[in-house]
Amino acid sequence: MKHSNQVCQSIGFAVVLGAAVFGQQQLKAEDCSKPSTAKQNEPAGETIDPRAIPFERISLFKVSLQCAAAPEIGCGSRAKPLLGDLENQPGLTGTWLNGTGTWLAVAGNEGTSGDTRSAAVRSASEKRKVTANELTGSEREKALKDFHAGSGWRGGARMDELGKKEAEIIAVRLVRRISAKSELTEEKANTLRAAFARVFSQRFGKGETQEPREELLRIASGQLDANATAAFQEAVAAGYRPLAGEK
């Protein structure tokens, strides 16, 4: 994918993840006064300001890339391969997923038609077994307005942020389940949350799908007494997805 000097138009664009941001990158003003070097190695979607892209060069799609364990956010580990494929397509200048994992935006260069963008998404989504339906009419206008607002949209290089957010949500959920059955000090709860989140984040970042129960149990056993460890085992046995009434 070509990286244009037009990225300097993106200085004012903040890349934000709802209430949580991990590893945020920014383009500094002084970088625009000299030829780009390291910035040329960044994915285009990370530096292009969505507000600077003409409407007619943007295609938007409805996708189902939410996290099963955290339905309110997009699933970075599932979306990353798809966006990576698209970012390597000739004629495309950027791809983004919204924060909830329901909309995909694809931008083309001046000579790339909408049909070409659609064909690229169709090919990549079939390869990754993701359903992507192009938005038209009022649905497109709604998604386009949100995209041009910029908040919460990420390119492929920032999908790991979503994985970290999902890991944190799961860790908090497990600790809440434990504390509902066995009293935990604030310090102990924070220690467990951080350790659990680290395990899930590392697995999501590597694309691993193996159950981490044994690793989580080793952490819990080193921090909890017998009663609290039993509560942990119940919490894990209930699964990582939210139960009724859980966040």
Domains: count for the chain:
2
Q: Among 27-36, 56-65, 130-139, 141-150, which stretch is predicted with the lowest mean pLDDT? A: 27-36
**Residue 228 and residue 147 share a domain:** no
**Residue 60 and residue 35 share a domain:** yes
pLDDT band with cut points at 50, 70 and 90 for residue 207: confident
Is residue 130 within 8 A of residue 23, CB to CB? The reply is no
Give yes or no for residue 90 having a pLDDT over 60: yes
Residue 118 lies in a domain: yes
Q: What is the spatial distance between Cα 24 and Cα 15, in angstroms, rounded to a whole number?
A: 7
User: pLDDT (tens digit, 9 = 90+) per residue, 225-238?
Assistant: 999 999 999 999 99
- Dihedral (Cα; 77, 83, 85, 89), 10-degree rounding: -170
**Residue 125 and residue 78 share a domain:** yes
**Residue 186 and residue 136 share a domain:** no
Residue 200 lies in a domain: yes
* Domain end residue (candidates: 157, 182, 210): 157
The boundaries of the domain holding residue 186 are 161-237
Distant-in-sequence, close-in-space partners of 66: CB < 8 Å, separation ≥ 6: 72, 73, 74, 75, 100, 101, 102
Position 47 scores a pLDDT of 62
